[in-house]
Structure 1
Amino acid sequence: MTALTGEHRIGKRFRFEAAHYLPGLPDGHQCARLHGHSYEVEFVLTADRLSGPGFVTDFGDLAPVKMMIDSALDHRVLNEALPELVPTSENLAAYLAGWFVEHVEPGLPGRLTAVRVSETASSWAQFEVAR
């Protein structure tokens, strides 16, 4: 069999419920008023080489992400939980990527490549980490 070169990628999804509103939108815009979503967030990691028995990163090592989401975002008003940003999906994806790189990635063999945030089943925003 021919050996191929490339990268391995894994993804882990997390879900939470939260509300938000987006200031600065025109009167009557549906997103200007307080409303809620069932959010889905996916973290995508990659590695040039697999570690351990053949992992990019052990999925169990991503438990701190679930703990942070459950404690800081789940069943919250995102404008209050994250007052430093306007809680669009785009901004939330970038925020979560930054948090992950600072708090989780240093202890992992894999590295974060992207975070995707979905407010609905048919829409998403993605932040790709530049290295």
Structure 2
Amino acid sequence: MFELSKQFRFDAAHTLQREIETESSRRIHGHSYRAEVVVRGAPDPITGMIIDLGIFERALQEAREGLDHRFLDELNDLGPATMENLAAWVWRKVEPVCKGLCRVVIYRDASGDTCTYFGG
């Protein structure tokens, strides 16, 4: 059994509704994110690969294009722009193409925040 991962970075802006309202959460603000997408499986006996890296790269590029330099509040299928929803959104975008998808991790490196989604 093997795991193969790829990462991409994106910058995006959003507002956020919180239980404890602060002026800064309601203002438009942005973050630099990093997403890691991981597939798990046994290599195909003919190709020797879990997934073709070209297919993997295209799936991640499409997800990145949907998020990078966007106002996340305007994405109809995201919901509130939380790290949890970003991880689930990336999963939904790449899962149809990435057989063996096992987790998506969203990082906000500047603040040390991480959220992992395992699907299902």
Q: Which category describes the TM-score, using the shorter chain as reference length?
A: 0.7 to 0.9
The letter of the residue matching 2:114 is W
List runs of 5+ in structure 2 lacking aligned partners: none
Q: 1:27 to 1:90 in 2, by over 3 A?
A: same
TM value normalised by structure 2:
0.83
Aligned to 1:44: 38
Aligned to 2:64: 69
Aligned to 2:101: 112
1:25-53, Cα deviation, whole Å (9 max, x unpaired): 42326434321111111100001x21244
- Which residue of the other structure, out of 71, 75, 78, is the alignment partner of 1:81? 75
Q: Match of 2:59, SS?
A: helix
The letter of the residue matching 1:116 is V
Aligned to 2:14: 20
Q: Give the superposed CA RMSD.
A: 2.0
User: Runs of 4+ in structure 1 displaced over 4 angstroms?
Assistant: none
- How many residues were matched structurally? 117
1:83, 1:10 → 2: CA distance?
Answer: 27
1:11, 1:82 → 2: CA distance?
Answer: 27
Q: Match of 2:55, SS?
A: helix
Correspondence 1:101 to 2:90? no
The letter of the residue matching 2:107 is S
TM value normalised by structure 1:
0.77
Name the larger-Rg structure: 1
Aligned residues: percent identity? 30
Aligned to 1:124: 114
2:76, 2:60 → 1: CA distance?
Answer: 16
1:84, 1:120 → 2: CA distance?
Answer: 21
| C-alpha deviation, 1:67, in angstroms | 2.5
